[in-house]
Every structure is written in C-alpha cells, then in structure tokens.
C-alpha cells in the first residue's frame, strides 16, 4: 500500500513567514494534529546548523508548526544530540549556546532547546530492535522518554550517505554518542600519496587516531571512530574510503537506529522535509554558502519516514535532471541503501502518492 506524501512548492525568496505558513498548510492537510495529544512531551527534532554554516533551515520557517503543537496543548521542545567531532555541538553547553545564537530558542519560537543525550552525549537508553545489523541501539534518553516526535529535516547532500533528510535526522540525529560510533564503524579511512603533512586531519580528529609520519599521515584503524572529520578538513583529497562498502553499511545502520528512535511511538510521529537551500553537504559543515545543486523546490510532509525521503529525492533529481550522486559530484555514493533497508525492517514504504497542495 502506498503512503501519502503531502507537498507544496516553496522558496526562501518568498520570505520565511510564507514558508512557515505553507508548512502549516501541509500539517493541516495531512490532519497530523491527531498524532499529538494534550500534555505530550513532543520532541521537535531539528538541526541548528554548525557555527559558520549558512544553508541550514532557519528557525522562522518552523514557527508555524510549533504554534500548531502549542495550540494542541502539547509540551514541545526543540532538540538535537551532540556530535562525535569536536566543534560547536560537541557537548550540551556549547550546542545550546549555538542553538540560541542561531535563533532556536524561546524568544524566537516560544519553546526551549534541550539536548536529548545529556551533557556529554552519554544519556541514553538501549532500545531492542532485533534487526540484521543491530539487535539493540543506543538512543538519546529524552527521545525514548518523550511521547511524540515532530521531525523537521533539511534535505541536502551528504559526504558519506549521498543524501541526508528524515531517516538520517532520526537515525544519526537521535542517537547517543555510542549510537553514532556504532553507525560510523563501517567508515575506515586511509591516507594516500596526495598527503602534504599539513596536519589538519591530526588537529581535528576527535579520537586522536591520526599521527604525522615522515612521508604522510597515518590513521590508526583501532582508534578510528569513522566520523569522517578527516575527509571534511583535508584540502588535498588525501583521505580515502572504500565508499562502496562504507556507504551501504552506514545507510543500513542509520535506518536501524532510526527505527529505534521511533519505536513505541510509530503512530505519534510526523515528518517534514524542507527541500530548500539544497546544498552539496550537510549542515554539519562550518563552511558558509555551500554549493547549491538545484533551486528551492518546496516542503514535503508525511507520516511515513521512508516515503518522504524517497519523494524528496525524486523531486530533487527531477529538478536537477541527474541522479543525486551526480548532482553532488560523488558518483561512488548511493542514496538508496538507507531507504531500502528502512523499508525492509518495516519503517515504511518507498511507494508513495504525492498529494500536491
């Protein structure tokens, strides 16, 4: 049976308030309000954007949806989890400060920002899922304890999974530090002869897994946590992955952690993809004005996390006239493993009907 994905054309050029109201139209068209109950602790899962990033979805775009939750007498809170890499979202204090700086706060949206996995990313719960790769997954404690989730995702490219949207926002974004390390375990980089010994990979490696030799840098596979920070900071294409294997395994593990994030409240979750500022890389990059691959498309909403990601991917590829891997210029990557595996483990279906407003 096909899932419904509601869609409305939108562009940031129309203004943030217009985008916000269009999102509300989708919320009402899908009758998603019935998934949230009075006094629900509702996790509004967002990505506040890394410090320096300019392509993340701005908080004003989300205002109308949060007002809808407040009108339903729920108790929503903005939330995300800490990162493995050492930047502005590595711990709850710095993360909350950045969220406030970017406008994800009570003053702008009327609700607080709370990091769901505690001060150091270790506040977690083990969720039993009995999947092919993981029998249980480590999910942020507040995500497990809340009664409902409104997952607000930015559709964009990604350095390891090709795309990042709802499934990644759930799987990686709702996991504790342990859960993130488990997902990244498939990523084992190596250094090639292009290395210039600039030292950037050693400087930014959060696991102290990189040392500088006489000829090139060396990565200790036993210490490596697979966070891909070395790939992000290397300016000489000196860090390599076996992307074929890593891409598939990472995508599947993300899907299984996403399942853990929503377990027990599958009928109490709603998913939005903002297909705007569609950049080559995810909002974790601290680079301003990332390359945009296609013009703004719109907003999608669904009760099915698999269908919304498939529909969003289709819309972007139709707009760009190429595959996503070609659009982000990473032909070795495949966006399908996480969606196909999510479908296999029962999260939803890739078959959908697009309901245009």
pLDDT for 190: 86
Greater confidence, 231 or 286? 286
Mean pLDDT score, 268-275: 98
Cα–Cα distance between 244 and 336 in angstroms, integer? 12
pLDDT for 182: 84
Q: Which residues 6+ apart lie within 8 Å of 251 measured at CB?
A: 161, 334, 335, 336, 337, 338, 339, 341
Same domain, 154 and 219: no
pLDDT for 37: 97
Same domain, 94 and 215: no
Mean pLDDT score, 238-262: 85
Angle at 158 between CA 156 and CA 162, to 5 degrees: 95
Tell me: pLDDT of 264 over 90: yes
Confidence of residue 245 (pLDDT cuts 50, 70, 90): low
Confidence of residue 110 (pLDDT cuts 50, 70, 90): very high
Confidence of residue 240 (pLDDT cuts 50, 70, 90): confident
Same domain, 210 and 275: no
The reported pTM is 0.88
pLDDT for 243: 54
Confidence of residue 248 (pLDDT cuts 50, 70, 90): confident
Same domain, 197 and 160: no
Mean pLDDT score, 109-128: 96
pLDDT for 186: 67
Tell me: pLDDT of 304 over 90: yes
pLDDT (tens digit per residue) in 9-54? 999 999 999 999 999 999 999 999 999 999 999 999 999 999 999 9
pLDDT for 237: 80
Q: Which residues 6+ apart lie within 8 Å of 80 measured at CB?
A: 45, 46, 47, 48, 89, 95, 99, 113, 115, 116, 173
The enclosing domain of 198 has a CATH number of 3.30.70.20
Same domain, 127 and 256: yes
- The percentage of residues in the chain with a pLDDT greater than 90, rounded to a whole number, is 82
Cα–Cα distance between 149 and 80 in angstroms, integer? 12
Give me the helices (H) in 300-347, please.
305-320, 324-327, 336-344
Tell me: pLDDT of 345 over 90: yes
Same domain, 37 and 169: yes
Same domain, 129 and 17: yes
Greater confidence, 159 or 312? 312
Q: Which range is least confidently modeled, 9-13, 225-229, 273-277, 331-335?
A: 225-229
Same domain, 196 and 54: no
pLDDT for 242: 61
Q: Which range is least confidently modeled, 50-64, 78-92, 123-137, 234-248?
A: 234-248
pLDDT (tens digit per residue) in 205-234? 888 999 999 999 999 988 887 776 787 688
Same domain, 213 and 259: no
Same domain, 180 and 195: no
Same domain, 61 and 197: no
Question: What share of residues in the chain are helix, strand, coil (percent, to 5)?
Answer: 35, 20, 45
- How many separate domains does the chain show? 2
pLDDT for 204: 86
**Which residue range(s) make up the domain with 208?**
190-240
pLDDT for 178: 87
pLDDT for 222: 82
pLDDT for 334: 94
The enclosing domain of 11 has a CATH number of 3.40.50.11440
Q: In Å, what is the CA distance from 76 to each residue of 38, 45, 151, 335, 357? A: 11, 10, 12, 31, 26
pLDDT for 189: 81
Same domain, 173 and 202: no
Give the mean pLDDT of the chain. 94
Tell me: pLDDT of 244 over 60: no
């Amino acid at each position: 049976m096909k899932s419904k994905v509601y869609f409305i054309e939108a562009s940031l050029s129309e203004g943030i308030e217009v985008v916000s109201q269009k999102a509300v139209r989708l919320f009402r068209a899908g009758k998603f309000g019935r998934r949230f109950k009075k006094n629900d602790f509702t996790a509004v899962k967002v990505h506040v954007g890394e410090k320096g990033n300019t392509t993340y979805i701005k908080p004003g775009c989300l205002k109308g949806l949060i007002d809808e939750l407040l009108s339903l007498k729920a108790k929503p809170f903005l939330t995300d989890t800490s990162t493995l890499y050492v930047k502005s979202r590595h711990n709850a204090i710095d993360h909350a400060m950045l969220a406030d700086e970017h406008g994800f706060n009570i003053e702008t949206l009327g609700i607080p920002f709370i990091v769901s996995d505690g001060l150091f990313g270790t506040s977690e719960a083990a969720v039993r899922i009995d999947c092919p790769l993981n029998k249980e997954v480590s999910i942020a404690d507040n995500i497990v304890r809340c009664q409902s989730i409104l997952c607000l995702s930015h559709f964009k490219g990604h350095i390891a999974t090709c795309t990042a949207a709802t499934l990644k926002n759930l799987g990686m974004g709702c996991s504790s530090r342990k859960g993130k390390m488990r997902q990244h375990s498939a990523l084992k980089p190596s250094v090639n002869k292009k290395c210039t010994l600039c030292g950037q990979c050693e400087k930014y490696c959060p696991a102290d897994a990189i040392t500088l030799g006489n000829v090139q840098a060396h990565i200790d596979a036993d210490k490596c946590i697979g966070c891909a920070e070395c790939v992000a900071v290397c300016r000489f294409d000196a860090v390599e992955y076996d992307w074929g294997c890593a891409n598939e395994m990472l995508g599947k593990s993300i899907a299984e952690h996403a399942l853990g994030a929503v377990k027990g409240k599958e009928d109490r979750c709603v998913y939005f993809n903002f297909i705007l500022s569609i950049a080559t890389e995810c909002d974790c990059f601290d680079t301003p004005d990332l390359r945009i691959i296609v013009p703004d498309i719109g907003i999608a909403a669904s009760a099915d996390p698999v269908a919304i990601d498939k529909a969003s991917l289709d819309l972007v590829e139709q707009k760009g006239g190429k595959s996503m891997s070609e659009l982000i210029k990473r032909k070795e990557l495949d966006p399908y493993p996480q969606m196909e595996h999510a479908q296999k483990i029962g999260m939803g279906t890739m078959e959908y009907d697009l309901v245009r407003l």
